[in-house]
Amino acid sequence: MLLHREDLGALEDESVAQQSGETVGSRSDTVLLLLITAIAAVLRLARLGSESFWIDEVSEARTASLIATHGWRAIASRDNVSPLSHVILAGVQQVFGRSEIAARLPGALAGIILVPVAYALGRRLFSGRVGLLVATLVAISPYAVWFARDARMYSYLSLASALYLWCFVAFVERPTRASAVGLVSLGIVGLYVHEYFIFVMVASTAWAAWSWIRSNRPRLFALVGMNALSCLAFVPWIVAVSAYDPGTAGSQRSGAIFFAPYTVVSYFIGFTLGPSIREMQRLGALSAMRDHVGAMVIPMLLLGATLAVVAWAARGRKPERPGTPGLGLLGVLAVALIVLPVLAGTVTDTVNFNVRYCAGAVVPVMILVAASFDRLRSRSIVTAVLVALVAMMTFASIRAVFPGDEYAREDIRATAHELRRLHPRGPVLVESPTIVEGLRWYGYRGPVIAVRDTQARPVLAAARSQRVSGGEVTLVQAREWEFDPGDVVARDLTRAGFRITSSYTSAGARIHTYRYVPSF
């Protein structure tokens, strides 16, 4: 059928109008993305050096400072995690010194870059509107903000996982040499960021196997081969760290069934709207939660409504064409990148679970939520839930920037400075050996006795000697739940006739000076 000239003109006008609309929409998206990224930058950079290093940051900073003289042995002998973040920090220390701001800046920048990467993924998988919503949720996620402000590798893990997912989607849609090289390169980088990056590779390959095992085996075998190359490049580090004894790390194994849902809660609510870790360790998780039940009602209701929206959208979605990346791939990644670290921490005797190990799941979870809200965006109730969710996440992220003493990391810096001012005249007992290195890092050089066992001979001898001479004992308590959860040392000093003569308290740390008072 032939078209008249007028019809052709109308079609051309319609095409021009559509292209013009897409250009305007693209410009609008760019402006909004820049605004969202700026908000993310403020949340990640504001007051970056206000808090003291906590024990893991001190360990990483100290290890990085030794790389120049001891090479890889400095990392392999002190830490069992992948070494890339230590190497980055060593370079930062060489150029900018050893301040908290300098140490945390690379992770903060990775957290900022994660926002446009999340947008690009949401746009590629669904639409520009979904991309903007994903970018917003990642920018204000209190979990993402918290770990972007940490001089550790978890912000890098989120970014490496998102970039790998981008290359994986590109490879699925149209395999090219660039996407293949990107997958291998990011696989290597991701593994050297954190060994749990292997779960990103396993989950994405499992989805590909399910989708391609019958229809596209050559592509599946190519993907497996590329992952094998990445893993092969990681072998040198496995050999280097093979003799390291990591001991234990992270949270206790009790209640492992709650770790996965707690991780999801932390993505949206963070760590500052409920009981602090110190409260849960001191009082027990259930007792601490019971004390905060009033403050947790609204956040939990909003999170429950969000999960209901996701379930509602999944129930009504159209089946995806096999092998097409979409909600199915995201669901596999979100579940695997939370559940597999939980299982790894449950079955091993050397590494316990901590929610920070699930940093790779942040972007897949946020895309799932954003796509679900976008699918049901015409419903006023759903819109209200989304607005309330964004408001709550923003408030929780601001709390991460201004945590207050209750939620702040242990203030080792102020504790060390106070000890230097006090010049203790008797033994100094530090109830967490992990704090001792932090005190040294912040310049306290006096003799200390690390309390690894409350009934150990050096601990008992310190109190006994001061009782005889009528002298002083200084007790430093920080993360004391690790080695003295029952306050045994303080109780024994009191029973032996020692009385507190001075006290100092900072975030998560206390210094008590005891003097023996003889009874007549």
- One DSSP character per residue, 149-161 reads TSSSSHHHHHHHH
Write down the pLDDT at residue 17.
Answer: 45
The pLDDT of residue 471: 84
pLDDT along the chain (520 residues), means of 10: 47 47 69 97 97 94 91 83 95 96 98 98 94 98 98 98 97 93 97 97 96 88 97 94 63 60 93 86 80 88 91 71 81 95 78 88 97 82 91 97 93 97 93 93 95 87 82 92 88 91 94 85
CA distance 137 to 133: 6
What pLDDT score was predicted for residue 317? 61
pLDDT score for 438: 96
Could you count the other beta carbons within 10 Å of the beta carbon of residue 174? 7
Task: Classify the C-alpha dihedral 366-369-374-380 as positive or negative.
Answer: negative
Q: How far apart are CA 147 and CA 413, in angstroms?
A: 20
Q: What's the pLDDT score for residue 463?
A: 82
Distance CA 515, CA 470 (A): 7
**Nearest-angstrom CA–CA distance, 32 and 300:** 29
> Closest by alpha carbon to 332, among 309, 364, 306?
364
Question: What is the predicted pLDDT for the residue at 314?
Answer: 77
Q: How many residues does the chain have?
A: 520
Question: Residue 394 carries which side chain, given as an amino acid letter?
Answer: T
- pLDDT score recorded for residue 44: 98
Residues 6+ apart with CB under 8 A from 364: 165, 330, 333, 334, 337
